[in-house]
Structure 1
């Protein structure tokens, strides 16, 4: 078999469209999941065990089970259990958001625990309400400390999003598989897909190290 990677150039628009969907789903789920994860981290630090226990169970479940199983469960079982008909796109958004919320909650929990107790005491001394304290004092500091692991979580979510092709969502991986099957050129197209994932993930990975080394170590502590 003779390899001919030039054939990929003829389908660059299709691959770009699949990449656009992958990035849209990744960024959307990362944003919503991170906000939800911050809320879950606050609950995990609550004094009430009744509040902490179900959240802890949720976090450990989604961190301890494969994302592929979570995708399949939401796609196949969610309509049966709840009697709702959902599209594949909605099912993957639900799955990835819940997964992102679970892993980012641990990131924020560690960041929140690193905030000095004097910050909380100062808020009490100033008479700040709990909502104002969380929004204007705790959240900015926790976010600054959590930036490197949050970026790492987004990169992981971007790479894991290739699994959504298994439920028929036309992301980059799905497009690459279809093109490789229709053209009988799996090496060329799957290699091209791998290169695209790498070209996006690798610079972001380097960015994480740069942010951690040059910004957080100087200003966060």
Structure 2
């Protein structure tokens, strides 16, 4: 077999379009999943068992099952069970967000435990309402402490988003597979896809270390 990696450059626009869709799903699901994950971490930390127990079961369910199964269930089973027709892109967005919510909730739960009790006592002394305390005191500190693992979660989500190609979404992996099949050059194009994933993920992994060593040591307390 004669390898010719120059053929990849003839399809660079299609690969970039697939990468753009992958990044849109990653960023959108990361933002929504992080916000929902923070709310879920508050439910898990609640003293009311009717709130903490279901939240804990949700986290264990989505952390204990493969993401591919979750994608298939939302994509194929959700419309049948609930009788609602949803677009493929919406079902993928929902599945990735539900997964991201589960893993980020654990990040925030650990961050919440690291907030000193004096912070909560100060809020009581100042007479802050529960909502104001959560939004203006608890959330900023939890976010600051949770930045490194949150960034790691985003990197993991970016890599695992390649699974959405299995349900026909034209992301980077889907485009690469189609081109490799049509050109009969799987080595060149699948290698190119792997390089693209690496070029995006590697700087983010380095960013985690920079944030942890510089930002957190300077501002966290």
Instruction: Using structure 2 for the length normalisation, give the TM-score.
Output: 0.99
Residue ranges of structure 1 left out of the alignment (5+ in a row)? none
Counterpart of 1:180 in structure 2 is 180
Give the match's secondary structure for 1:10. Answer: helix
Cα shift at 1:219: 1.7
Please give the per-residue CA displacement for 1:27-86, whole angstroms capped at 9, x wherever unaligned.
000000000000000111111111101010000000000000000000110010001112
Paired residue for 1:96? 96
Partners of 1:194 and 1:88 lie apart in 2 by: 25
Rounded Cα–Cα distance in structure 1 between residues aligned with 2:135 and 2:82: 35
The residue aligned with 2:127 is 127
Q: 5+ unaligned residues in a row in structure 2: which ranges? A: none
Question: How far 1:217 sits from its partner (Å)?
Answer: 2.2
Q: What is the root-mean-square deviation in Å for CA atoms of aligned residues?
A: 0.6
1:218 deviates by 2.6
Task: Quote the residue 1:38 is aligned against.
Answer: 38
Residue 76 of structure 2 aligns to a residue whose secondary structure is: helix
Kindly report which structure 2 residues correspond to 1:15-164, keeping only aligned pairs within 5 A, or say none.
15-164=15-164
Whole-Å Cα distance in 1 between the matches of residues 72 and 87 of structure 2? 13
Deviation at 1:134, TM superposition (A): 0.6
How far apart are residue 26 of structure 1 and its match?
0.5
Summarize the alignment of residues 190-209 of structure 1 with structure 2, pairs less than 5 Å apart.
190-209=190-209
In structure 1, C-alpha distance between the alignment counterparts of 2:170 and 2:87, rounded to whole Å: 12
SS class of match (1:85): coil
